[in-house]
């Protein structure tokens, strides 16, 4: 599938936002183990913001290459649920979300490296 220039730029922006999301999710996992409630809410809010931005980037008519559509759809699903369910969903499922984000980053990096 030939990617339009705008779609390529969108995927690069999504990759950058996913990297930020990954860092925040890893930090959230650390914070949960140290039981720091103030930091927990702050990190969860940052994750929520990153999730909303991922959804915004993927709105519209961005064509997703087959190689990255499954991982991106998984992250989009978690983002939709997170924006509806809120911080409790994020803190309870952060390990699952982190695995999906890492899978997505890996798939995007392989795809973008070939372009």
Q: What is the pLDDT of residues 1-39, one digit of tens each?
A: 455 555 788 899 999 999 999 999 999 988 888 877 788
pLDDT digits (tens, 9 = 90+) for 101-111: 999 999 999 99
DSSP secondary structure letters along the chain:
-PPPHHHHHHHHHHHHHHHHHHHHHHHHHHHHHHT-HHHHHHHHHHHHHHHHHHHHHH-SSPPPPHHHHHHHHHHHHHHHHHHHH-HHHHHHHHHHHHHHHHHHHHHHHHHHHH-
Q: How much is the pLDDT for 41?
A: 86
pLDDT digits (tens, 9 = 90+) for 60-99: 767 788 889 999 999 999 999 999 999 899 999 999 999 9
Task: Supply the range of the domain harboring residue 101.
Answer: 5-114
Q: How much is the pLDDT for 1?
A: 46
Q: What CATH number does the domain containing 66 carry?
A: 1.20.120
Count the domains in the chain: 1
């Amino acid at each position: 599938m030939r990617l339009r220039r705008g779609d390529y730029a969108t995927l690069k922006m999504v990759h950058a936002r996913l990297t930020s999301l990954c860092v925040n999710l890893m930090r959230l996992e650390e914070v949960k183990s140290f039981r720091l409630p103030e930091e927990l809410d702050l990190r969860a809010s940052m994750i929520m913001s990153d999730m909303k931005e991922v959804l915004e980037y993927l709105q519209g008519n961005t064509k997703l290459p087959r190689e990255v559509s499954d991982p991106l759809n998984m992250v989009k699903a978690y983002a939709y649920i997170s924006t509806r369910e809120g911080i409790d969903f994020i803190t309870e499922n952060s390990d699952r979300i982190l695995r999906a984000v890492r899978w997505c980053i890996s798939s995007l990096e392989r795809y973008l490296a070939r372009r």
